[in-house]
Structure formats: structure tokens, C-alpha cells
């Protein structure tokens, strides 16, 4: 009886395994049978590439990579997986330029959609009283800039790095030094075309399918894939007056930043960054920067203090140069920076916006671009920024030589509270971004383990001190942590998931929801 029972159990398990393997082996065939203009890839090189991102810490190979030509290819693929129901393990992740940090655009054993393959229809610029550009969700912002400049126009809000896709930044928020004035990129979208988790193609805006429109913006890819977006434009300037000044007093630094973002016609871009244990600082500015007083600048000595750099930009056309010079001088005269550290330059608008790409080219040439990037981005309420700075910049963070630490204020009034993105409750809050790069095989302060430990200490302090901090580009490993992140918005977030992606097919790499498999 024992042998008979064991034999039956063995044969049953074998049958299940054979059935599963058969199902898995038929999936590539069923995907390839779909009538698509694009195509699927199943080769190891393509799958391995889709399992890597800028963070370079998580690598989960998909079963297939879709190279769509149109949104219809994406809709047909998701509809096919939706109709397979919960018996299929397939999930779907949209991958843009691969700049995610923690595997958010990966789909282990699922389908990764190469959004940069999406080219139909082409980019279309519309001029008029309310100019806009209609673009693919897989289009890079740098390409949008080049195209719109042909018409003397440009988007109003940017990220610091332009080699990112539209769908990628709109799924998060899209923040840079212009956000205090124009809001994040998700505040500058007129219309979206979405493929939901049931494979439906839907056009949405504030007037049409409003709930889906707001769900997807800042929705971390949970409710649909952005296949097309209409981005608002404004007249583009020719040049940028670019200024950097230093502070040794954090109170003066934040007071000046907050004053500048409250003024209507101060600057068009305002950011700041922290400098700890950096030597030869003034000699390390970009070579194009010139000190206003070279003699004073050469005598500057930081005395080992933590310094805070305020970075300002004023946009102008060639005809406005004299007026702009006067305005910049007037605004600078009201600030409390260290006088000898005033550095200025003038560059073209496109050179300013694409400034990070210059650093990318240099790092790639040295083999230092495709390394691990354990970044941490936080939104911190204004009321607690001084407590945060005192502990983090004073005790936890020992140096900033392995990557910049950005810090600048944002106006909550420029954010739409109907979207899915989570921000602090106060009218002014700060973005603080720890953009560290880990040196391969290092066991020191520039090594991966040290940086991760440092990030953990920062997060633990924020939670312990109850600072009301929210992560930007958030990453959590459990649904309990996600529930805490969303707070009062969690129930609405779950409800939207049930409506637009009921099988939890989309964006599994965010680790918010898990597909139920039977």
C-alpha cells in the first residue's frame, strides 16, 4: 500500500510538472501567434539586457521582450495575457531607457515591453495659443527638446537628465529645478493614451476618463501603460544665465531658497546641493564658470565646513540680455551667500538642459557609468528640514565625494492632489536626493554596502523622528510598507488597481501587488 501510494503521488507530481512545463513551452508560441506589426525576442542577450537598469542591483530575466511598433501591439499582448486569466504566471513591465533604480521595469518570467520601439505615430508639434506636442510614451525628452525647438517652443518642466522616456517620468512625477514654478512634469500633461491591465486602449484627460488620467500620473505603472502623451509647451529662450553661490550657514541657505521660489519673476530654475569634505572645491566648478571676483575666489577657504551650493538659472532671448543682467544682479543682491563664491556663466538653453549628458559621456569613457547606483530620494516637509539637516548632514553623511546630494524646495500648490503621487502635506517641501555611485569591489565609504547602510540609517532616523518624509521613486519590499507610504491614499490606490488592472499584470517590479496564480 505504501509503494502504491508513493507511486500515485510521484506520478501525480510528475504530471503537474509536465503540465506546467508544457504550458510554459507553449507561451512563446502563443505570443508569436499574435498578429502584431512588431515582434517578440526570446534570445538570452535581449532578455539579459531587459533585466538590467541604471541601479544595477536587481536582475530578473523576463520570458520575452516585445518590440512594439504601435500601441495596438501593446494592447493585443496585454489583452492576450489578460484572457489567459490567473492560470498564467505572465506579467508585463514597460521599459523605457532603463533608468529605473531597483528593478521597477523588470518582469521576472514575464514580458518586458521595449517602449523605445514605439514610433507610430511620429511626434507632432502643434503651435497656437496653447501649443503642445503629441509624443510616444517611449520618446526621450532630449528628442522632444530638439524637435520643439525647431518651432521656437519647449516643454515647461524637466528632469535634470533628459535621456529618459516620457512614460517613465510621467509614471513617477518628473522633478527638477523648474518644478517650483511649473510643477512636476505630471502637472504639464494635457492628454494621455493608455493601455490598461485588461488590454483596453483608452484616451484620457481632465475632461475625459478623468479618474484613469489622474491614476496613471505618478501611478508607478500600476494602472496602465502610457503609449502616448500630449505635453504642454511654452516659448523657448535662447540662452541661460547660470549662477552658483556658496553658503556655510544652512538657515541662510534655506531662507534664500524659500524666498526665491515665492517670488514671481526671480529665476526659472532653482536647485541646491550639499558639499561635505570636498577639497579644491572652487577649482572643480565647470571650466566655463567664471568667478565674479577672481582674487577673492582664489583666497576662499572652507575650513572643513559643510557647504551648501545654490544653483540658479535665468532664461532669456538674445534681445533681453541687458534687462536680464540687471534682474539677476538685483535678485543676487538680496541673498546672503559668501560673496567671494559668486560664479557665473552663460550657455545656450539646450546646453543647460542637457548638462548631465556631458558627465555621462565622461563617465562612460572611464567605465564608471554602468556601475551600481543605490540612490535615495526623499520629500521632506519644510518644518522638519532643519532637524533633518542637523542629523543627516551633521552626523550620518560623512562625505559627498561619491555623488551629489541635491536639496531644493518645491511649492505644493503646483502639484495636482488628484494624481497618484505621494507628497508631504505642507505648502513647501524639499526634495533631498542622495545620488551616490558605488565603486566596484570597494569596502570603504564609497562601496555599495556602506552606502546602503547609510541610506538605511537615514530612513530609520526619519521614521523614528516622525518627520513626515515620503520617498520619491519609492521602493519597498512588503505591502505593509506600501500601505504606510500611501497612508490615507492607500484605499483609493487599491481600488484603482482593482478597476484598471484587476489581475495585477502590470509593473510587478514595483513589488506593490502580486499576481494571483491558480
Provide the annotated active-site residues: 99, 160, 271
Selection from 259, 265, 417 nearest residue 326 by Cα: 265
| Strands 470-472 and 376-381, bridge-based pairing | antiparallel
CA torsion through residues 475, 478, 482, 487, sign: negative
- Please give the full DSSP string across 118-163, using - where no structure is assigned: --SSPPEEE-SSS-EEEEETT-BHHHHHHHHHTTTEEES---S---
Rounded to 5 degrees, what are φ and ψ at 346? -125, 130
The set of cell numbers assigned to 474 is: 519609492
Q: What CA–CA distance (Å, rounded) separates 51 from 292? A: 48
Q: What CA–CA distance (Å, rounded) separates 328 from 316? A: 11
Selection from 494, 491, 488 nearest residue 468 by Cα: 488
Q: What CA–CA distance (Å, rounded) separates 304 from 453? A: 24
Q: What CA–CA distance (Å, rounded) separates 413 from 407? A: 19
Selection from 168, 183, 160 nearest residue 417 by Cα: 183
DSSP count for the chain of H helices, then E strands: 16, 19
Q: What CA–CA distance (Å, rounded) separates 509 from 498? A: 18
The set of cell numbers assigned to 336 is: 546672503
Q: What CA–CA distance (Å, rounded) separates 27 from 49? A: 21
Residue 290 bridge partners (DSSP): 344
Residue 308 bridge partners (DSSP): 247, 274
> Residue 115 contacts by C-beta under 8 Å, 6 or more apart in sequence?
68, 94, 95, 96, 136, 137, 138, 165, 167, 168, 225
The set of cell numbers assigned to 262 is: 515665492
Does residue 127 come out as left (phi exceeding 0), alpha (psi in the -120 to 50 range) or beta?
Answer: beta
Amino acid at each position: 500500500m505504501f509503494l502504491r501510494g508513493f507511486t500515485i503521488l510521484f506520478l501525480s507530481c510528475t504530471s503537474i510538472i509536465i503540465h506546467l512545463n508544457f504550458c510554459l513551452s507553449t507561451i512563446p508560441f502563443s505570443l508569436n501567434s499574435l498578429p502584431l506589426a512588431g515582434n517578440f525576442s526570446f534570445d538570452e542577450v535581449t532578455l539579459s539586457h531587459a533585466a538590467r537598469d541604471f541601479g544595477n542591483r536587481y536582475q530578473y530575466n523576463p520570458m520575452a521582450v516585445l518590440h512594439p511598433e504601435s500601441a495596438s501591439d501593446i494592447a493585443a499582448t496585454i489583452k492576450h495575457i489578460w484572457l489567459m486569466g490567473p492560470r498564467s504566471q505572465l506579467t508585463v513591465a514597460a521599459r523605457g531607457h532603463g533608468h529605473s533604480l531597483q528593478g521597477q521595469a523588470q518582469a521576472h518570467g514575464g514580458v518586458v515591453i521595449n517602449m523605445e520601439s514605439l514610433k507610430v505615430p511620429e511626434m507632432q508639434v502643434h503651435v497656437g495659443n496653447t501649443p503642445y506636442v503629441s509624443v510616444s510614451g517611449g520618446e526621450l525628452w532630449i528628442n522632444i527638446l530638439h524637435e520643439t525647438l525647431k518651432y521656437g517652443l519647449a516643454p515647461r518642466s524637466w528632469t535634470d537628465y533628459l535621456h529618459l522616456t516620457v512614460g517613465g517620468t510621467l509614471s513617477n512625477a518628473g522633478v527638477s529645478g523648474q518644478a517650483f514654478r511649473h510643477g512636476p512634469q505630471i502637472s504639464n500633461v494635457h492628454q494621455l493614451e493608455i493601455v490598461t491591465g485588461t488590454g483596453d486602449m483608452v484616451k484620457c484627460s481632465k475632461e475625459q476618463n478623468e479618474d484613469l488620467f489622474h491614476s496613471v500620473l505618478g501611478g508607478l505603472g500600476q494602472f496602465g501603460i502610457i503609449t502616448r502623451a500630449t505635453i504642454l509647451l511654452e516659448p523657448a529662450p535662447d540662452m541661460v544665465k547660470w549662477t552658483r553661490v556658496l553658503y556655510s550657514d544652512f538657515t541662510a541657505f534655506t531662507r534664500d531658497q524659500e524666498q526665491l521660489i515665492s517670488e514671481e519673476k526671480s529665476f526659472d530654475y532653482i536647485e541646491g546641493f550639499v558639499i561635505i569634505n570636498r577639497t579644491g572645491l572652487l577649482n572643480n566648478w565647470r571650466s566655463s564658470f567664471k568667478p565674479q571676483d577672481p582674487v577673492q575666489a582664489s583666497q576662499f577657504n572652507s575650513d572643513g565646513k559643510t557647504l551648501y551650493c545654490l544653483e540658479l538659472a535665468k532664461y532669456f532671448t538674445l534681445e533681453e540680455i541687458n534687462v536680464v543682467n540687471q534682474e539677476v544682479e538685483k535678485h543676487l543682491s538680496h541673498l546672503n551667500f559668501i560673496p567671494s563664491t559668486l560664479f557665473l556663466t552663460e550657455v545656450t538653453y539646450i546646453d543647460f538642459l542637457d548638462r548631465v549628458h556631458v558627465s555621462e559621456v565622461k563617465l562612460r569613457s572611464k567605465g564608471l557609468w554602468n556601475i551600481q547606483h543605490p540612490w535615495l530620494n526623499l520629500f521632506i516637509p519644510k518644518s522638519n528640514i532643519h532637524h533633518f539637516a542637523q542629523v543627516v548632514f551633521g552626523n550620518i553623511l560623512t562625505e559627498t565625494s561619491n555623488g551629489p546630494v541635491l536639496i531644493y524646495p518645491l511649492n505644493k500648490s503646483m502639484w495636482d492632489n488628484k494624481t497618484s503621487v505621494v507628497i508631504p502635506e505642507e505648502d513647501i517641501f524639499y526634495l533631498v536626493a542622495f545620488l551616490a555611485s558605488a565603486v566596484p569591489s570597494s569596502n570603504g565609504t564609497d562601496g555599495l554596502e556602506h552606502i546602503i547602510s547609510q541610506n538605511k540609517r537615514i530612513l530609520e532616523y526619519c521614521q523614528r523622528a516622525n518627520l513626515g518624509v515620503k520617498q520619491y521613486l519609492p521602493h519597498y519590499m512588503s505591502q505593509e510598507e506600501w500601505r504606510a507610504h500611501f497612508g490615507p491614499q492607500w484605499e483609493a490606490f487599491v481600488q484603482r488597481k482593482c478597476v484598471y488592472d484587476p489581475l495585477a499584470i502590470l509593473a510587478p517590479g514595483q513589488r506593490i501587488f502580486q499576481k494571483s496564480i491558480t
